[in-house]
A = this chain, B = another copy of it.
Amino acid sequence: MATGRNHRPATSRSRGIPDATVARLPLYLRALTALSERSVPTVSSEELASAAGVNSAKLRKDFSYLGSYGTRGVGYDVEYLVYQISRELGLTQDWPVVIVGIGNLGAALANYGGFASRGFRVAALIDADPAMAGKPVAGIAVQHSDELERVIEENGVSIGVIATPAASAQPVADRLVAAGVTSILNFAPTVLSVPEGVDVRKVDLSIELQILAFHEQRKSGELPDDGRAVPGTDIGEDAGGGVTGSPVAPPAASVTKRTASAAPAATDRRGDEPGNDGDLPAVMPA
């Protein structure tokens, strides 16, 4: 998963569709599209729910926000539902998208086929590196950052994708917004601050992995002891660690007055320059 929403004061749902439901509509749409391709005429809420990996009651309630599109005793008409959900999501219109930061990730995104098939169209690829300019990626010539504003205006772009290093993300976001973009998908590991009315969604692999690690640790049963409860046996693992040697050593629990010089964290980082840690998007451009 990408990671949660961002900003936007909870009272966001314009007409009444809950955010949680909106987030599931693409899931339903995907499942329905698959059924459509297999020429299945109708599905029950039960079948569709299991295909989408959700609870059938939840699915029915979700659909109830869109209207009564089902037929009792039969189920839902696949084609009709595909259309209704597409329309509700705004996928029946063309969405020109600009991708900023054509590194490894940006290139991967540009190549993504699911883009076009869902109403999205890559209007331009932008990179700050002059050496990239003109290079074709996914059949589209990369343009220099200078062209950003012009491209946005000419194509009426309202959705931008940021795949730059963290340091560039905020400036890029500012320029996108200034040029008229009102929705941003951010792959850089930074908190973007944007004016009211601009939507930001964040995707961060690093966070997803850390969440997995948390649950993994719990499963192995061996959650490290409380850190303060057993002051004598704490460091055991960390001290000897070679490759396993972990980034952080346990500082003293007592707080008052401890200057940075005493900070053990400075000794970690196996070879990365400090400051470069989260500097690149989860999926890093070259």
- Chain A residues within 8 Å of B, Cβ to Cβ: 1-7, 12, 14-15, 22-23, 25-27, 29-31, 33-34, 36-37, 39-42, 51-53, 67, 69, 71, 74, 77-80, 82-84, 86-95, 97, 103-105, 107-109, 111-121, 158-159, 182-185, 189, 191, 197, 199, 201-220, 223-224, 226-228, 237-238, 241, 243-244, 246-253, 255-256, 258-260, 263-266, 269-270, 272, 274-280, 282-286
Contacts and interface: CB of A to CB of B under 8 A. Distances in A.
B206 A114 contact: yes
Identify the 5 closest CB pairs spanning chains A and B, nearest first: A1-B2, A90-B217, A39-B260, A2-B2, A53-B191
Given A244-B94, A277-B117, A41 B258 contact: yes
B2 A208 contact: yes
B183 A212 contact: yes
A180 B91 CA distance: 40
Given A1-B204, A112-B206, A183-B212, 13 more contacts: A1-B202, A71-B255, A77-B251, A79-B264, A79-B265, A88-B214, A91-B248, A93-B217, A111-B286, A117-B277, A158-B216, A183-B216, A283-B283
A41 B259 contact: yes
Contacts of A159: 209, 212-213, 216
Nearest to A197: B219
Nearest to A74: B255
B216 A91 contact: no
A237 B201 contact: no
Contacts of A53: 6-7, 191
A185 B203 contact: no
A121 B243 contact: yes
Given A92-B238, A114-B277, A197-B219, A87 B227 contact: yes
B109 A205 contact: yes
Given A36-B263, A83-B248, A94 B243 contact: yes
